[in-house]
Amino acid sequence: MKKTLLFLKKDLRKFAKPSKAKILQRFFKTGPGEYAEGDIFLGLKTDETKSVAKKYEDLSLPELKKLLLSKIHEERVTAVMILNRRFLRADPKKKKVIYQFYLENISGINNWDLVDGSAPVIIGGYLDVSGDSRKILYRFAVSNSLWERRIGMMATFFFIKKNKYEDAFKIAKILLEDNEDLIHKAVGWMLREIGKRKQEQEEKFLKKYYQKMPRTMLRYAIEKFPEAKRQAYLKSKVTPGNKD
């Protein structure tokens, strides 16, 4: 086990770029008091990390657990990429094992790229295929953890892609007054994805709640609207529907 992990870590470090790592550490807000304080980057490109994940995709779950506990960002990303690859080809029984493993090690899913790259596939994918209760998404939505709240929202992307919007709207409503910019962006993004498929559905929601939305959330949600309609929302000229 140790030898395999050692080889994986060595392979990641072959691609390390200190100058790029400095840029990424600023981009991902790793400074004191920021959302990813203390996160350490090697400076890999996504394709480079993917190549390592593919090479070690049969890593055991105990090995993956160690990667998810790592302070090195790309090591956690590699673990997530491996879990995704395994989940997509797994039978229902193995999907459940990966889903449960993910929940047990959710503390390692602690930056927005890790969330966005895994929650739709593993959380959304499992809940949709298994038919298990989706109550966990609503627990995430009211969690004290920024990352769990984002997981709750981003998991619905899997449903949205299948034209199932109910959970996305319900969780968006819960998160309307969240204080975190990363939640505003996630909610707005998912609303925009609904609008790309069924704009009338998104607008039904917006007309009820757009005046409560943080500016960033609204901007993300209406980004693909025709310019006149987008400006109308931004300038509060759209007549809201009935309030709940």
Mean pLDDT by 10 residues, the chain (244 residues): 83 97 95 93 97 95 96 98 97 97 98 98 97 96 98 98 98 97 98 97 96 94 94 72 37
Residue 166 lies in a domain: yes
Residue 190 lies in a domain: yes
Q: Tell me, what's the pLDDT at 99?
A: 98
CA 222 to CA 58: how far, in whole Å?
42
| Residue in the structure block whose two tokens are 């529907």 | 241
Q: Tell me, what's the pLDDT at 41?
A: 97
Q: Tell me, what's the pLDDT at 173?
A: 98
Q: Which CATH number characterizes residue 157's domain?
A: 1.25.10.90
Q: Tell me, what's the pLDDT at 238?
A: 53
Residue 111 lies in a domain: no
Range(s) of the domain holding residue 165:
133-244
Instruction: Give the number of domains in the chain.
Output: 1
Q: Tell me, what's the pLDDT at 181?
A: 96
First-to-last CA distance in the chain?
55
Residue 236 lies in a domain: yes
The angle, 0 to 180 degrees and rounded to 10, between the axes of the packed helices 61-68 and 92-104 is 30
Residue 92 lies in a domain: no
pTM metric for this prediction:
0.93
Residue 179 lies in a domain: yes
User: In 3-state terms, what secondary structure has residue 72?
Assistant: strand
Residue 64 lies in a domain: no
For 12, the enclosing helix (H) or strand (E) is: helix 2-13
Residue 185 lies in a domain: yes
